[in-house]
Amino acid sequence: MSFRTDFIWGAATAAYQIEGAWNEDGKGPSVWDDFTHIPGKIFGDHTGDVACDHYHRVEEDVSLMAALGIRNYRFSVSWPRLMPDGIGAVNEKGVAFYDRLIDVLLEKGIRPFMTLFHWDYPSGAQMRGGWQNPDSADWFADYVSLCAKRYGDRVKDFITLNEPQCFVGLGYQRGTFGPGLVMSEKDVIGIAHNVLLAHGKAVQTLRALAPDCRVGYAPCGNVAIPCTESAEDIEAARSAYFATRRETGMFTVSWWSDPAMLGRYPEDGLRLYGQHLPAGWQDDMKVIHQPLDYYCQNIYNGNYFRAKDGRPEMVDQPVGVTKTACDWPVTPDCLYWGARFLYERYHTPFVISENGMSCIDTVSLDGKVHDPQRIDYLHRYLRGLKRAADEGIDVRGYFQWSLMDNFEWANGYNERFGIVYVDYATQRRIVKDSALWYRDVMETNGETL
């Protein structure tokens, strides 16, 4: 067997990580513009001010995508580029930029997947309380309304939020991502609820204004992988994957996905955090719980679990486990078990919205970038996803992260996740070996795996 004939093969990026032009053509500042300009917050004091200069290189980059056989492109829209203060006035030059990007994609036969929020929250909205403000979900819905009205005639695939675990957990709980705040548990739970409400209102807005569109949601989380395929270990891993535990903070699957997909918070989560939810939160659940066309998940690695005394026990990674350049373990089975567990729980067509690896990539003497480790990584992981598809899991798509090397948040330009190398001094793009390998995989619909 193979992947379904209409399987979505693609690559992904995010606005702040590639666009640059941080203060051009009327764009307002984001919390990431502010955060990266604070000395010591980012590796090497790097910023996204220029990044990959994609804002000025749209045609070049889309032509490169087309040459690499990429037919589906997941990108995000910068909220403050469209609405400089986060609410109110619209920046028509920002609107025109994404008009141009979408039109060029369609001209090249590439299907656009628009992610509406990938962390670059408008500074103007943050100064009004940001996600902590009860009105924040309505601000987001107004922004989504703009996107639906201006782009919904051509964009038919939208993803509401990317990795709320990260932008809430790291941005407001641990303080290591923009806006860099360390807040109380009560405040963080209130923020998380407002973010979920924003997701629900965004879906309602898209359904009303772009009724023929398809909508997804892209949370994240390390997968719990059973040590063996015994029924006991599988159940232990499943239990661990969906457990809500205070020690993991906001990095839990069920707290973020059960409300959106099942219309309820997990019981173990309510026992921990229920007292912090805002008054009347139960009435919000019918808004948060909106039917989705596909459930997305960003998956990079996992942890191993076994059953011990009737409970899940995490097992240490093997000594000498293979790791990526950013020290993440290589655990190919995570795509299989992630797809399986999530589909069994949520019964919604499944898409991997991000997967890839950081390598220590260099330009060789022959002028090329040879990255056999990335090819091996992608090959192994995609075989895991193919196993899920072969077993009847409704796997609809896979987006490789990332199309090109870019600004990797707190790690600046120290990590290279792209299948296209970027020389940041010259902005020259160099196709890596992995891009050519991935092109063959896409062309054969995974038969070469």
179, two tokens? 């806006």
Q: For residue 253, what pLDDT is reported?
A: 97
Nearest to 249 by CA among 335, 182, 304: 182
Share of the chain above pLDDT 90, in %: 99
CB 249 within 8 A of CB 175: no
Band of pLDDT at residue 346, cut at 50, 70 and 90: very high
In whole angstroms, what is the distance from residue 396 CA to residue 401 CA? 17
Q: Quick check: 394 and 19 in contact, CB under 8 A?
A: no
In b/e form, how buried is each residue of 161-176, taking b as 16+ CB within 10 angstroms?
A: bbbbbbbbbbbbbbeb
Residues with Cβ within 8 Å of residue 162, at least 6 apart in sequence? 14, 76, 115, 117, 118, 119, 218, 298, 353
Residues 105-139 pLDDT 10s:
999 999 999 999 999 999 999 999 999 999 999 99
Residue 1 has pLDDT above 90, yes or no: no
Residue 2: is its pLDDT beyond 90?
Answer: no
With CA atoms as reference, report the closest residue to 265 among 256, 200, 111: 256
DSSP 170: I
Residue 402: cis peptide before it, omega within 30 degrees of 0: yes
Is residue 41 over pLDDT 70?
yes
Residue type present at position 166: C
How far apart are alpha carbons 106 and 74 in whole angstroms?
13
The tokens of 62 are what? Answer: 């889309």
The residues, ordered by sequence, that sit 6+ positions from 438 with a Cβ below 8 Å of its Cβ are: 68, 378, 400, 419
| Residues with a known catalytic role | 163, 354
Beta-strand pair 395-401/8-12: parallel
Residue 376: partners with Cβ closer than 8 Å, 6 or more residues away: none
The predicted-structure confidence for 424-441, as pLDDT tens digits, reads as follows 999 999 999 999 999 999
Q: Which two tokens stand for residue 371?
A: 């990255």
pLDDT of 352: 98
Q: b or e along 281-314 (b: 16 or more beta carbons within 10 Å of the residue's beta carbon)?
A: beebbebbbbebebbbbbbbbbbbbbbeeeebee
Task: Kindly tell me if the per-residue pLDDT of 403 is higher than 80.
Answer: yes
User: Burial letters for 187-219: b for 16+ Cβ neighbours within 10 Å, e otherwise?
Assistant: bbbbbbbbbbbbbbbbbebbeeebeebbbbbbb
Residue type at position 439? R
SS3 (DSSP) at 164: helix
User: Token digits for 111?
Assistant: 């299907």
Instruction: Read off the pLDDT band of 206 (50, 70, 90).
Output: very high
List Cβ neighbours of 403 (8 Å cut-off, separation of 6 or more). Answer: 11, 12, 13, 61, 65, 70, 73, 418, 419, 420
Q: Report pLDDT digits (tens) over 141-189.
A: 999 999 999 999 999 999 999 999 999 999 999 999 999 999 999 999 9
Using one digit for the tens of pLDDT, what is the confidence trace for 231-288? 999 999 999 999 999 999 999 999 999 999 999 999 999 999 999 999 999 999 999 9
Return the percentage of the chain with pLDDT > 70, whole number: 100
Average pLDDT on 413-433 reads 98
